[in-house]
Structures are given as structure tokens and as C-alpha cells.
């Protein structure tokens, strides 16, 4: 008999597993069954590890029976984005070129999750090579938003967003180069955290753009994200961008207390050209925090006007360098959309790239100065809600606007600066979720998670779930 276990968060499931009222085997079977049943609808998985997951669930169950409970994620079944290497498993990057690529080692984050007792149910779809925001994949088909199957789930971690929102994975990891954790998290109504650059090792993750890439949690709740961040964080000498800083106890920082919190609001950039319903929901959440004792200060960040240019030049150049050889030898094996981007990435000069890095430095300095005045910055995660699959344009207050340019506008600056940024749900436009973004100072993930937790306590989604559940 089917239960509603697939709807529950890690924080709900973990106590049941720890006190032995829920078997990891029972839970894993339900998640796998639901994932396989929902696959024709949302197309979130690239591969299922059915037999292996059941075997590992049995091992986890025995460990817990024997008193060896490892923590909140022990016995939790989840799938990961298909650019994270699993030893002796195919990692496709949802591409044609790497469709048979097998790594001989685990990514660091995979190692850490294994050590925490996670049960891996499979790999999740993504925009090809993580270079896009729709997850409309020419090789494996589009991933569909569980709230509206005609809409995009966002990308590039669209499989992760759709799977977690629908219940096909209890939680997941995504990667984020211009917003690819936060975009699908916003579009699918879940929590998505891009940690500080260097907080989480990227060893064993196929790169998109070295200096902009991040790995982070995509979960149903803020507590789930905080607990996962504790597991995956920490210095790793195999990743040259990893920073040796202590890992905090993030769960202990989730008090929900925002009294005297100073919220920075940047009107010129982060509230410029925003869907009116999105803006209304985000401002209402800010007001909720003010009602709990927070304060708002309007701030100026002048160099943000150059952020989109710096983000595009940096990501195009670095991504094209990575794929240069394949672009020369087998251009026809790339999807049309990303082949064009890689070709464009051959155009910026060394001068362009270095000027973009100067802009990054200036933006980073201005953010550092702002965080001497305020504790966090809050903005919409996206200026729009999810658009229709296959449409290159989105509607913004009745106007047709370019999708890519608009969807990364508010997420890209945190990749340029490397600052931690969290997307949490804050309401709906019709039946589509709206996300709110919280940006904080470097290595202050606990602070932004606590603000997200305070927002979550207001129940902005009103316990609504995607209609997908009623249709299966």
C-alpha cells in the first residue's frame, strides 16, 4: 500500500529512522517506486540504481539496528545531478559526447554523503553540460516542472529541482555557475543553497566554468539544507579552489530569531524590472521579517550594472576553453543551444576576460562594504516565474523578454563574488512558486539559512504540493 513517505522532508524522516519505526528499506522502495512512476511525467532521472539502492538500504538498516546511527541523512534515499562522478558508474553530463563516460573515483561530495549513510537511488537530468537554464535537453528530452508539466523546471539542475519537489528524491545536490541551484529551486518551490566559493569541494564534478562553479544542497526544507551542508563542507586538497575554514554547526544556528537583523535592499538592480506578483510576494516576506524585529536599509551597489557582462564573458570564456577540443572535432554532437554558446565563447579576447575579472573584483569590494552596514541582502531569486518549455521568451508584466538574460540577472552576482546565496519559497503566482534570495557575507551560511528558516516558518507555500501527486 502506498504511503506519503515520498512527500516528507529529511527532518521528518530522520527521527523515524533513528527510532526504528521506519525502515530505510521501506523508504527506499517507496522513493524508487514513486520516482519510476513519475518518470514518464517529469523525466527527472537519467539512471536508476534500483538493486544497489535496496542492498545499501538493507545495510543501513542493519547498522541502525546495531546502534550505529550516523546522523540525519543515514538511510535517506536520494539521487544526484549527473555531473557528479560515481565510481564505476556512467556520468553523462546529460550529453551525447559523454554518454558512456565512467569515472574510476567518487566525487568528494559523493564520498561524504556515502560516509553519512545516504542511499543513492540514481542520477538526475540536467541541462547539457550544465550550460543552460531550461533543462530542455535535445538528447534526453525536457524535464518538466511538477507544478505545471508544460513549464520548465529551471536549470541547469532541473532534474534535481523537479525530483525533490515531486518526491522522486528526498533531497539532492545541484551545481551553480550562474544560478543553476537557485533557479530550479525557485521555479520548483524548494530550498536551494549556493555556499561560499571554496566551502564545498568540487573535486569529481565536471566543470562548466572553474572560477564560478559551486556545489550545494537542494532540499524540501531549510533544516534539510543546513544538515546536508554540514556533511559536504570542508577542505579538500584535491580541489585547488577549496578554502581551509572551519565547518560550522548550521543546524544549531536555525533559531528563526531575526530581531535586530539588518536587511539590505538594493532597489536599482535587484528590484528593477520584476514581475509585479513576484515583487509583491518578496516584499511581503521582508515585511514579515520586519514584523519580527528586523530592520531594512536601502543600499547602493553601483558596479552591479556591469555584473551581467562580467558573468557572461567569464562563463563563456571558461566554458569554451574546457570544451574547445570537442568543439573542433565533433561540433555536431553538441545540442544546438550550447554549441552556439561554446562558439560565442571563442570570441572574447584576453583583454575582455581580464577586464571582466577587474569588474568582479570591484563588485566583490562593494559587496564587502555593504556587509559592514547590513547583515544580509534580500531580493527575488528570479524576476519572473517558470515559462513554457521550448519558449525562448518569458512574460514580464505583459512584455515578452529574453528568457536567459532575465532568469540569471539576480543569481549571477553571487557567482561572480563567490558569496553564499539561498533561495527559499515565498509564495505563488497562480500555481507556480516564487523564490526569495538571501545573500550573505562569505562563509556566513548559517546566517542566511536562519533568515530562510524564519521565512519558512510563515508557511509561504500554505502546505500546497504539486498537482503531480493527484495524477499518479
Q: Give yes or no: 156 in active site.
A: yes
Rounded mean pLDDT of 104-116? 98
pLDDT in tens, 25-55: 999 999 999 999 999 999 999 999 999 999 9
- For residue 470, name the pLDDT band (cuts at 50, 70, 90): low
Given 8, 81, 151, 194, the catalytic residue: 81
Do 129 and 121 touch, CB atoms closer than 8 A? no
Active-site annotation holder among 156, 201, 233, 303: 156
> Is the confidence at residue 469, as pLDDT, over 60?
no
Residue 20 reports pLDDT greater than 70 = yes
Residue ranges of alpha helices (H) inside 292-333 are: 307-329
Q: Which residue has the cell 547602493?
A: 300
pLDDT interval class at 2 (50, 70, 90): low
**Do 441 and 271 form a contact (C-beta atoms < 8 A)?**
no
246: Cβ–Cβ under 8 A, 6 or more apart, which residues? none
CA–CA gap between residue 171 and residue 219 (Å, rounded): 5
Please give the average per-residue pLDDT across 198-226, as a whole number: 98
pLDDT, average across residues 108-134:
97
For residue 405, what pLDDT is reported? 87
What pLDDT is recorded for position 467? Answer: 72
CA distance 261 to 296: 8
Specify whether 423 is catalytic: no
Question: Is the dihedral angle over the CA atoms 423, 424, 429, 430 positive or is it negative?
Answer: positive
Under the banding of pLDDT at 50, 70 and 90, the label for residue 235 is very high
Residue 158's pLDDT band, with cuts at 50, 70 and 90, is very high
Q: Which one of the listed residues 9, 169, 180, 423 is annotated catalytic?
A: 180
- Can you say whether the dihedral through the CA atoms of 182, 186, 187, 190 is positive or negative? positive
Q: Could you give the C-alpha distances from 46 to 80, 97, 127, 309, in angstroms and in order?
A: 10, 15, 12, 33
Alpha carbon distance 331, 343 (integer Å) = 9
As a whole-number percent, the residues of the chain with pLDDT over 90 amount to 97
Closest CA to 408 of 140, 131, 169, 123: 131
Q: State yes or no: is 81 an active-site residue.
A: yes
What is d(CA 123, CA 455) in angstroms, rounded to the nearest whole number? Answer: 31
| Distance from chain centroid for Cα 382 | 13
| Selection from 332, 403, 406, 383 nearest residue 134 by Cα | 403
Judge whether residue 250 has pLDDT over 70: yes
The grid cell for 250 is 548550521
pTM metric for this prediction: 0.97
Helix (H, G, I), strand (E, B) or coil at 133: coil
Rounded distance between C-alpha atoms, residue 290 and residue 280, angstroms: 15
pLDDT of residue 3: 74
Q: pLDDT at residue 1 above 60?
A: no
pLDDT of 471 > 50? The answer is no
Judged against a pLDDT cut of 50, whether residue 462 lies above it is answered with: yes
- Residue 468: which pLDDT band, with cuts at 50, 70 and 90? confident
DSSP H or E run through 121: strand 119-124
| Residues 386, 396 contacting (CB under 8 angstroms) | no
Amino acid at each position: 500500500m502506498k504511503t506519503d513517505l515520498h512527500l516528507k522532508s529529511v527532518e521528518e524522516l530522520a527521527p523515524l529512522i533513528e527510532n526504528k519505526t521506519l525502515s530505510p528499506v521501506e523508504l527506499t522502495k517507496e522513493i524508487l517506486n514513486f520516482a519510476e512512476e513519475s518518470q514518464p511525467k517529469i523525466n527527472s532521472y537519467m539512471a536508476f540504481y534500483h538493486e544497489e539502492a535496496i542492498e545499501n538500504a538493507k545495510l543501513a538498516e542493519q547498522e541502525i539496528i546495531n546502534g550505529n546511527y550516523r546522523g540525519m541523512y543515514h538511510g535517506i534515499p536520494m539521487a544526484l545531478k549527473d555531473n557528479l562522478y560515481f565510481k564505476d558508474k556512467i556520468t553523462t553530463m546529460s550529453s551525447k559526447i559523454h554518454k558512456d563516460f565512467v569515472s574510476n573515483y567518487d566525487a568528494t561530495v559523493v564520498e561524504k554523503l556515502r560516509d553519512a549513510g545516504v542511499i543513492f537511488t540514481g542520477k538526475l537530468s540536467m541541462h547539457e553540460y550544465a550550460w543552460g537554464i531550461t533543462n530542455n535537453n535535445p538528447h534526453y528530452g525536457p524535464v518538466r516542472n511538477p507544478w505545471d508539466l508544460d513549464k520548465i523546471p529551471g536549470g541547469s539542475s532541473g532534474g534535481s529541482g523537479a525530483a525533490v519537489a515531486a518526491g522522486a528524491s528526498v533531497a539532492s545536490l545541484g551545481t551553480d555557475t550562474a544560478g543553476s541551484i537557485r533557479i530550479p529551486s525557485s521555479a520548483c518551490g524548494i530550498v536551494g543553497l549556493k555556499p561560499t566559493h571554496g566551502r564545498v569541494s568540487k573535486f569529481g564534478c565536471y566543470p562548466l566554468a572553474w572560477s564560478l562553479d559551486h556545489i550545494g544542497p537542494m532540499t524540501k526544507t531549510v533544516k534539510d539544507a543546513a544538515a546536508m551542508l554540514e556533511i559536504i563542507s570542508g577542505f579538500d586538497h584535491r580541489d585547488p579552489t577549496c578554502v581551509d575554514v572551519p565547518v560550522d554547526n548550521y543546524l544549531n544556528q536555525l533559531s528563526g530569531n531575526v530581531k535586530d537583523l539588518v536587511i539590505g535592499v538594493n532597489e536599482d538592480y535587484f528590484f528593477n524590472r520584476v514581475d509585479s506578483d513576484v515583487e509583491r510576494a518578496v516584499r511581503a516576506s521582508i515585511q514579515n521579517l520586519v514584523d519580527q524585529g528586523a530592520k531594512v536599509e536601502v543600499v547602493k551597489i553601483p558596479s552591479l550594472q556591469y555584473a551581467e557582462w562580467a558573468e557572461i564573458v567569464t562563463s563563456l570564456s571558461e566554458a569554451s576553453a574546457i570544451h574547445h577540443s570537442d568543439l573542433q572535432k565533433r561540433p555536431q554532437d553538441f545540442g544546438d543551444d550550447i554549441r552556439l554558446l561554446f562558439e560565442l565563447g571563442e570570441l572574447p579576447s584576453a583583454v575582455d576576460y581580464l577586464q571582466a575579472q577587474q569588474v568582479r573584483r570591484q563588485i566583490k569590494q562593494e559587496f564587502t562594504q555593504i556587509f559592514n552596514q547590513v547583515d544580509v541582502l534580500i531580493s527575488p531569486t528570479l524576476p519572473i516565474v517558470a515559462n513554457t518549455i521550448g519558449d525562448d521568451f518569458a512574460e514580464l508584466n505583459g512584455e515578452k523578454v529574453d528568457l536567459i538574460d532575465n532568469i540569471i540577472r539576480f543569481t549571477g552576482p553571487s557567482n561572480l563574488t563567490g558569496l553564499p546565496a539561498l533561495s527559499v519559497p515565498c509564495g505563488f503566482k497562480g500555481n507556480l512558486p516564487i523564490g526569495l534570495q538571501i545573500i550573505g557575507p562569505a562563509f556566513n551560511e548559517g546566517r542566511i539559512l536562519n533568515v530562510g528558516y524564519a521565512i519558512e516558518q510563515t508557511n509561504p507555500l500554505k502546505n500546497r504540493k504539486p498537482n503531480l501527486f493527484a495524477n499518479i
